[in-house]
Structure 1
């Protein structure tokens, strides 16, 4: 999908990208309006890639974007800057994932290429001017979009923190029931937050590298000030993500420990029951032996005596355990 945006007052408004789009006649041809300042490519079709390449730009493939070498992710070519970062988002099947996003900056416009759906790319156009950088120039628009991305990453970390708070209440609250099923669900939720924090941490790292690369070219003073502000925010979020990661480790250890305690309690109950039945079993085994001469064999009160002995031995064992505070 190709979406082109142009400036419309204080927002970025979508522009028609086909020759007869206003008439509803789209036969697959793509024509990018000359006043487009932002072109967003989401899982682009070959015709859409060709339309952007007709502007003199090289659109990287997904395989190119997934290259891990810095020289492949951050470079300049013929005055055009190509910068690739890894951002969390939703896949085409609506599953949480991380994927590369490439920013292509020219003096006239910004092009973004992505194959998954980070939320900031849906929300940025409607309030681009609310950002301190605005969207008056390509550099300012780029920084404003980065600010939107960083704000989204901060929201994800805050959401992860709330999940950890709920988990802590379940684990350490005085009046909480901690059955195994609830603890296993808590462990699953905490694990998912750990994965999310890992994706956010990777995004912050790649954003920081991109901004450092961005500042290697002279920019206007106001833009450089905005970049420095973004770098401070990213460093603060990195500290926050490290703190949440440590909480993840503590919560996982506590959850596994409580699951182990619950399982130990179950094993303990079975052990006590087994011990309580040992003396009665001994009595029953003694009177179950097949000897010819057994004094109580023909005694009228032999059976009640054996039953009573089994009950008393079990009761005595229970009281002994209770007295020693083993139960």
Structure 2
């Protein structure tokens, strides 16, 4: 799918069967979403410059993701997608400044693009150039990334409230409650990790963009990019803080699991010690010796029972006085 956006924010869908021979002069942004080979060829013909393929976007070499040639400036960034789902992912998006226009090539749908296109129609300030259009798009991408980090922070706070509860509530929790929370922690770590990767990719892109003459010579675009670079740095620090909280939550959950397991083992250990003396008494009177005075005693059986009960109660009271129970 190919969409053409004008300076005033209006959009037009370009179909291969109804494609114009030339793009209108006021078309400032061409957005290609999951284009097939026919649509790629159409866009290359309308723009007069080559476009990166899906394989090109996946190239992780910095020299292949950020470069300039005679046709324009080619940049690739990894943006966070499906942040609210259980399986967030990074989608590679190509940004091209060439032929006086901004061109984006993507095979995923980051929410930032939808937010940006919606804001274009409501904004009273028109984008005056392709560089300004790209800077404003990157600004929306960073704002969306900040929103994702805020979501991650809120989820982590809720998880912390579930894990760290008072003892009365902790005793009523299900047996595998904490083990299940480990999967939630892993999901939060996955989201924050991908967000940090996206911020690192955006940081390299903006640093490269600030060195491009097309942006350096445009005061508005340069100022916007500098603001975006500062926001990325702040978000990277915040993402690191959230990541450290996730590590703490993981260590704390594992520690609480060990405490609960140790408490269970302690109960079994104390139970075995409590029942050991009665077992000893019962074993003594279970021996088949010929001479055992208590066997012929009328009160021998009750006496043995009382000794076994006392030998169990005394260790129990001792452990309780020590605070081990």
TM-score w.r.t. length of structure 2: 0.86
> 2:309 maps to what in 1?
311
> 1:4 maps to what in 2?
3
- Greater displacement, 282-291 / 182-191: 182-191
Shift of 1:273: 1.2
Shift of 1:228: 0.9
CA–CA separation in structure 2 for the residues paired with 1:72 and 1:176: 58
Contact 1:90 1:116 in 2 (8 A): no
CA–CA separation in structure 2 for the residues paired with 1:222 and 1:132: 16
Q: Work out which of the residue numbers 136, 151, 167 in structure 1 matches 2:143.
A: 151
- Greater displacement, 94-103 / 204-213: 94-103
**1:216–1:281 distance in 2 versus 1, CA, 3 Å:** same
Contact 1:128 1:145 in 2 (8 A): no
CA–CA separation in structure 2 for the residues paired with 1:132 and 1:16: 25
Shift of 1:129: 6.0
3-state DSSP class of the match of 1:41?
strand
- Greater displacement, 98-107 / 165-174: 165-174
> 2:108 maps to what in 1?
116
CA–CA separation in structure 2 for the residues paired with 1:48 and 1:322: 79
Q: Work out which of the residue numbers 208, 213, 217 in structure 1 matches 2:212.
A: 217
Shift of 1:135: 2.8
Tell me which protein shows more helix as a share of its residues. Answer: 2
- Greater displacement, 176-185 / 216-225: 176-185
Contact 2:57 2:92 in 1 (8 A): yes
**1:270–1:231 distance in 2 versus 1, CA, 3 Å:** same
Q: Work out which of the residue numbers 239, 263, 266 in structure 2 matches 1:265.
A: 263
Shift of 1:248: 1.6
Contact 2:192 2:243 in 1 (8 A): yes
Are 1:34 and 2:33 matched, yes or no? no
Are 1:52 and 2:51 matched, yes or no? no
> 2:89 maps to what in 1?
97
Q: Work out which of the residue numbers 184, 192, 200 in structure 1 matches 2:187.
A: 192
> 2:252 maps to what in 1?
254
> 1:23 maps to what in 2?
none
Shift of 1:295: 2.9
**1:8–1:111 distance in 2 versus 1, CA, 3 Å:** closer
**1:78–1:299 distance in 2 versus 1, CA, 3 Å:** same
> 1:24 maps to what in 2?
none
3-state DSSP class of the match of 1:237?
helix
Contact 1:110 1:138 in 2 (8 A): yes
**1:299–1:45 distance in 2 versus 1, CA, 3 Å:** farther
**1:275–1:236 distance in 2 versus 1, CA, 3 Å:** same
Are 1:66 and 2:58 matched, yes or no? yes
CA–CA separation in structure 2 for the residues paired with 1:243 and 1:94: 22
Aligned length: 315
Are 1:78 and 2:70 matched, yes or no? yes
Unpaired runs of 5+ residues, structure 2, are none
CA–CA separation in structure 2 for the residues paired with 1:325 and 1:90: 51
